Chains A and B, each alone.
Chain A
Amino acid sequence: MSDVSQPVAHPPVTDWVNDFDHTDPQWTEDPFPIWDELRAASPVVHTERFLGCYMPTTYEAVREIANDTEHFSSRRIIVRDVRPEVARNAAPPITSDPPVHKPAKQLLLPPFTPDAMKKLEPRMRAICNELIDGFIADGKVDAAARYSKYIPVRAIAHMLGIPESDSDLFINWIHMILELGIKDESKLLQAAQEMSAYFSAHIEERKTKPTDDLISYLMNARDKEGNPLEDSHVLGSLRLLLIAGIDTTWSAIGSSLWHLAKTPADRERLLAEPALIPTAVEELLRAYSPVTMAREVVKETTISGCPVKAGNMVLLSFPAANRDPKMFPDADKVVIDRRENRHAAFGLGIHRCVGSNLARMEMQVALEEWLKRIPDFALDPAGTVTWSQGTVRGPRQLPFLLGKAM
C-alpha cells in the first residue's frame, strides 16, 4: 500500500503561459493566480509537456470544447506523460463518443436521479455520524484522512454492493490511477489490473447469487435488441463508477470544510442559516471545483479564435472556467449566497457527471452533520494542509482543532 507515495517530479515551470504543467507543485498548492495569468494571455494556451497539450482558460472556450464531440474525443480523459493504447470499453460512458455514448449513459442515469439519491440519504447521515464519533472526543482531527475521504467511498461501495471495509483498497487504486499514473504507466496498469480482478470476482459471485445492487443492475441490463452488455462494458462501467465516485467528492467535501475552517464568518452564517447550505454548496463547488477532465484533439479546428491541432491533448479545466470573471462577478471570491451560479463543476454537455446528484447530496449531508456536531473548528497551526495533484484537486491532509477552546 502506497497511499502517501509521491508522483515522479517534472522540471519546474518558469514560463507558465507557454510551458504550463498542472502537476507542478506551485499549481498543486495554489492554481488560482496561475489560471488568471493564463487567461490574461489567451483563451487557449499550449504546452509541449505531456506530448503536447492545450488548455482553454475561459468559461466560453471550455464550453465550446465540451460541446464539440466532432473535433474532440473522450477516448482519453486524463492528461498523462504517456498515451497507452486505448482500451475498448475503457470506462463507458465517460470514455465514449457519439453515437455509442448515449445508450451507455442512459443505462447509468436512472440509479443516480435526485429521487434515487433521497433514498440513500439516511445511510449517508449514518456514515457521517459514525465517522464523527471516531474523533470528536479528541479535540483535533485530520478532517481529510478521517472524514471527507471515507464518505464518498463508502457511499459508492454501498451502491455497488461491495464491502465498505475495502475502502482503503479502493482509495489506493484511485491514487495510483489519477495521481501516480500520470507519470508512471506501471502504476496505472497495476491498479487497473487489480481493479478488474476484484470486480470480475464479484461478477462471478453474482452469477450464482444475484443481488440488488449496481453490479447486478449492469449484469441484468439489456440493449435495444435484448442482448446483455459485453463483459468488458460491465467491467468498464464499474471501473468508472468506483474511480469517479471516490476522490471527486472527497475533495469537494474537504475543500468546503477547509474554506469554512479559515472563514469564520461563512461558518457562522451557515450555522445560523442551515437552509442556505444547498446554495453554499453550489458556490463551494464553483470556487473549489475538484475535477479537470481531458479531451484528445482528433481534427484540427479553432477555439475562441485559437487554432488547435490534432494529436494534442486538452486539459479541460472546469475549475478554471469557474474562476472566469467574465462569467462570474467576483469570480475570485467565495460568495456563499451567490444566486446566479451556472458553474461547470460537473462538466458541460453530454458527459455531465452521472453522479452529480449523489455528490451534491453527499456534500450537503457531510456539511450539515459536521456543523450540527462540530460548530467550532479551525485550521491547526501546528499542522500542514496538503493538496492532491493532477486530475482531481482537494485537500489530502486537513489538520483541524475542534471546539471553542483553541
Chain B
Amino acid sequence: MTERLKVHVDPDKCQGHARCKALAPELFELDEYGNAHEAGDGIVPPGLEDKAWLAKSNCPEIAIDVIEE
C-alpha cells in the first residue's frame, strides 16, 4: 500500500527563496512577500511525490517537511 505524503512549510524558517514553488508549483503557494506555504491541506496528490521530495531537498533553509502518513 502506497503511503500518503503531506508537505508542510515552517513559516518561521522560510525566507522566501521560492525554490519549492519553482520545483513543485502544485504543492506550494507564495504570499504577497514571496514567502511559501503548502497549498491547501498539504496532501500530495498521487504522482507528485517526487516533486515533494525535490522541493524538500532544495530548500536552503530546511523549512520543508515531507510527512509520510
Residues of A within 8 A of B (CB): 106, 109-110, 112-115, 278, 282, 339-344, 346, 348-350, 352, 356-357
How many A-B residue pairs lie within 8 Å, measured between CB atoms? 54
B15 nearest CB neighbor, chain A only: A352
Q: A106-B33, A342-B57 are in contact. Are A278 and B22 (CB under 8 A)?
A: yes
Complex contacts, B19 vs chain A, CB 8 Å: 342
Q: Give the docked Cα–Cα distance between A294 and B62 (Å).
A: 22
Checking B18, B57, B60, B61 against A357 with a beta-carbon cut-off of 8 angstroms, the contacting residue is: B18
Q: How far is the CB of B16 from chain A (nearest CB, A)?
A: 6
**Counting CB contacts under 8 A, is B54 at the interface?**
yes
Are B34 and A112 closer than 8 Å at their CB atoms? yes
Q: How many angstroms between the C-alpha atoms of A91 and B40 in the bound complex?
A: 37
**Known contacts A278-B22, A339-B54, A352-B15; A344 and B33 CB within 8 A of each other:** no
Q: Which residues of A contact B33 (CB under 8 A)?
A: 106, 109-110, 113
Q: In whole angstroms, how far apart are the Cα atoms of A115 and B21 in the complex?
A: 11
- Are A110 and B32 touching (Cβ within 8 A)? yes
Interface of B is mostly: loop
Task: Say whether B34 contacts A348, CB under 8 Å.
Answer: no
**Which 10 A-B pairs give the minimum distances between C-beta atoms?**
A109-B33, A352-B15, A113-B34, A340-B57, A342-B60, A109-B34, A110-B32, A114-B18, A342-B58, A341-B58
Chain B residues with Cβ under 8 A from A282's Cβ?
58
Is A350 within 8 A of B34, CB to CB?
no
CB of A346 within 8 A of CB of B58, answer no
**Which residues of B does A touch, CB under 8 Å?**
15-19, 21-22, 30, 32-35, 54, 57-62
Q: A110-B33, A113-B33, A356-B17 are in contact. Are A344 and B60 (CB under 8 A)?
A: yes
CA distance A349 to B54 in the complex (A): 21
CA distance A348 to B33 in the complex (A): 17
| Cβ–Cβ contact A113 & B30, under 8 A | yes
Pairwise interchain contact B57-A349, C-beta atoms closer than 8 A: no
Q: How far is the CA of A342 from the CA of B19 in the complex (A)?
A: 9
13 additional A-B pairs beyond A340-B57, A346-B17, A357-B18, beta carbons within 8 Å, are A106-B33, A109-B34, A110-B33, A113-B18, A113-B30, A113-B33, A115-B30, A341-B58, A342-B57, A342-B59, A346-B60, A350-B15, A356-B17
A278 to B35, CA, bound (A): 20
On chain B, the residues within 8 Å of A346 by CB distance are 17, 60
Question: Are the C-beta atoms of A348 and B21 separated by less than 8 Å?
Answer: no
Q: Which residue of B lies closest to A105 (CB)?
A: B33
Residue in A112, A343, A350 whose CB lies within 8 Å of B60: A343
When C-beta atoms are compared, the residue in chain B nearest to A357 turns out to be B18
Q: A340–B58 contact, CB under 8 A?
A: yes
25 interchain pairs, CB-CB under 8 A:
A109-B16, A109-B33, A110-B32, A112-B34, A113-B30, A113-B32, A113-B33, A114-B21, A114-B30, A114-B34, A340-B58, A341-B58, A342-B60, A342-B62, A343-B60, A344-B60, A348-B15, A348-B60, A350-B15, A352-B15, A352-B16, A352-B60, A352-B61, A357-B18, A357-B34
- Distance of A122 Cα from B7 Cα, bound (Å): 33
The residue among B17, B35, B57 with the most chain A CB atoms within 10 A of its own CB is B17
Give the interface centre of A113, A339, A343, A346 by most chain B CB atoms within 10 Å.
A113
Contacting pair B54 A352 (CB below 8 A): no
* A340 / chain B contacts, CB cutoff of 8 Å: 54, 57-58
Q: B residues within 8 A CB of A341? A: 58
CB distance from A119 to the nearest CB of B (A): 14
Nearest-CB distance from B53 to chain A (Å)? 9
User: With A342-B60, A342-B62 in contact, do A352 and B32 touch (Cβ < 8 Å)?
Assistant: no
Bound: A87/B59 CA distance, A: 34
Chain B, residue nearest A348 (CB): B60
What residues of A have a CB within 8 angstroms of the CB of B54 in the complex? 339-340
A247 to chain B, nearest CB (A): 21
With the chains together, A348 CA to B58 CA distance in Å?
Answer: 13
